[in-house]
């Protein structure tokens, strides 16, 4: 159903320039907004359309609000990055959203049109989709300036319960191979390759091997040494350099469900991608770019409940019982326990998600693989040593 509520004044939207390449201003000037409005009007019963000034962006996309003469509103999402891999992700993102609409009641925007070809009348790859009239959980209740990106404590129970309901349904979507979602011409869904590491993969082992072969740590040696300062630079540098080869050597031992089926995973399940109502119940989940099927060991908590494995961190941050000394981290551990209980309540006969969230080995592996891609410094060797002992 299309939004007919002119609620743009409540949106805590803003523009952030992340770099000079494909800047928001540059891309905005390249877009033919008149053609975009004409396209939208044709898709919405010929209703006249205007582009509103309300604009925001992420690292990869520019977002603008369109409004029709009957006050309905749509979102125009313009790609800021346009490599072959980026456009392949856009196509798979749309197919993933269609899959979720077809097979779950997870609230997500309806897609009206999209284009991955860089040469088109709009002037850029885009998606036209339904506007969900609310802020993300990151921007709600005053935004980062008020709560520093944390979910206000009074809203945590509602928010966690609502997210858990969606998370259970998402994990229940499983396929026999690991890769990205593609929609075939007959309307059925299949799994295709990753833009960067290939596939699709029939086993978790083959996926881990391919990941290890293709993934590179994004920081050079000099930058790593500089950031380490007076810390154990040599140990961390060695751990970083050896991490992919050690993952490859352990690949056949990393999963207890090597042949699947493999669940769908949102690539950035963060509260900046969850739109909420005023009471913090989920109104919609957005930004499905990079969604894919993964081994069960890579199914983890939403990113706002992410916690570092104890062995990855400095020992001085924990007491003798390996409990965190930091009060915020203590609270996060408690929140994770509560979230698992909410997941269990949302599950029926299928308890896969709660089992994944209770698998410390899998959680540690998922954390390391994700942070390695992001360039985080830490004791990867200690985590792998614990995984080897677990076997």
> Is the C-alpha dihedral spanning 369, 17, 302, 101 positive or negative?
negative
Compute the distance between CA of residue 43 and CA of residue 64 in angstroms, rounded to an integer.
Answer: 17
Q: Are strands 174-175 and 262-265 parallel, antiparallel or unpaired?
A: antiparallel
**Secondary element (H or E) of residue 362:** helix 360-374
Q: Write the pLDDT tens digit of every residue in 74-125.
A: 999 988 877 788 888 999 999 999 999 999 999 999 999 999 988 899 999 9
The residue with tokens 């080869």 is 245
Q: Write the pLDDT tens digit of every residue in 154-178.
A: 999 999 999 999 999 999 999 999 9
3-state helix, strand, coil split of the chain in percent (to 5) is 45, 15, 40
pLDDT over threshold 90, residue 229 = no
Would you state the structure tokens that stand for residue 72, as one six-digit string?
A: 């309905």
Compute the distance between CA of residue 176 and CA of residue 182 in angstroms, rounded to an integer.
Answer: 14
**Stronger pLDDT, 368 or 152, i.e. the higher one:** 368
Q: Mean pLDDT over all residues of the chain?
A: 91
Contact 294, 206 (CB under 8 A): no
Q: Write the pLDDT tens digit of every residue in 291-319.
A: 999 999 999 999 999 999 999 998 899 99
pLDDT tier at 378, thresholds 50, 70, 90: very high
> Does 261 sit behind a cis peptide bond, omega within 30 degrees of 0 on the bond before it?
yes
**Secondary element (H or E) of residue 335:** helix 327-346
Q: Write the pLDDT tens digit of every residue in 250-281.
A: 999 999 999 999 999 999 999 999 999 999 99
**Secondary element (H or E) of residue 228:** helix 221-228
Tell me which DSSP letter residue 109 carries: P
- Write down all domains in the chain, each with its CATH number in brackets: 8-133 (3.30.200.20), 144-390 (3.90.1200)
Beta-ladder partners of 183 = 189
* Residue 171: predicted pLDDT: 98
The residue with tokens 């989709």 is 129
Tell me which DSSP letter residue 315 carries: G
* Residue 5: predicted pLDDT: 45
How many CB atoms lie under 10 A from the CB of residue 33? 17
How many CB atoms lie under 10 A from the CB of residue 68? 20
Contact 118, 125 (CB under 8 A): yes
Would you state the structure tokens that stand for residue 212, as one six-digit string?
A: 């290890």
């Amino acid at each position: 159903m299309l939004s007919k509520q002119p609620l743009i004044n409540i949106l805590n939207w803003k523009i952030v320039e992340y770099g000079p390449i494909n800047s928001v201003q540059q891309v905005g000037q390249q877009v033919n907004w008149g053609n975009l409005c004409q396209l939208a009007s044709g898709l919405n019963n010929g209703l006249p359309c205007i582009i509103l000034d309300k604009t925001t962006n992420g690292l990869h996309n520019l977002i603008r609000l369109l409004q029709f003469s009957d006050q309905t509103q749509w979102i125009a999402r313009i790609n800021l990055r346009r490599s072959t891999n980026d456009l392949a992700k856009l196509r798979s993102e749309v197919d993933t959203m269609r899959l979720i609409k077809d097979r779950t009641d997870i609230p997500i925007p309806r897609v009206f049109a999209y284009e991955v070809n860089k040469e088109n009348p709009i002037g850029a790859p885009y998606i036209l989709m339904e506007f969900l009239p609310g802020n993300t959980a990151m921007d709600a209740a005053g935004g980062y300036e008020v709560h520093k990106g944390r979910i206000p404590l009074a809203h945590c129970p509602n928010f966690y319960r609502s997210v858990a309901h969606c998370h259970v349904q998402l994990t229940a979507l499983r396929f026999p191979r690991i890769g990205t979602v593609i929609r075939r011409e007959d309307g059925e869904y299949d799994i295709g390759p990753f833009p960067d590491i290939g596939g699709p993969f029939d086993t978790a082992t083959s996926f881990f091997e391919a990941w290890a072969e293709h993934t590179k740590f994004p920081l050079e040696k000099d930058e790593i040494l500089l950031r380490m300062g007076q810390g154990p630079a040599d140990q961390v540098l060695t751990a970083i350099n050896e991490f992919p080869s050690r993952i490859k050597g352990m690949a056949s031992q990393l999963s207890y469900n090597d042949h699947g089926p493999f669940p769908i995973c949102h690539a950035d399940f963060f509260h900046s991608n969850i739109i909420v109502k005023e009471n913090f119940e989920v109104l919609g989940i957005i930004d499905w770019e990079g969604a894919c099927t993964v081994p069960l060991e890579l199914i983890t908590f939403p990113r706002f409940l992410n916690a570092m494995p104890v062995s990855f961190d400095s020992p001085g941050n924990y007491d003798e019982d390996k409990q965190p000394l930091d009060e915020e981290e203590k609270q996060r551990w408690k929140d994770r326990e509560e979230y698992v209980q909410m997941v269990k309540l949302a599950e029926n006969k299928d308890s896969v998600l709660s089992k994944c969230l209770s698998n410390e080995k899998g959680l540690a592996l998922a954390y390391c693989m994700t942070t390695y891609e992001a360039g985080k410094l830490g004791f990867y060797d200690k985590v792998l040593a614990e995984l080897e002992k677990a076997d």
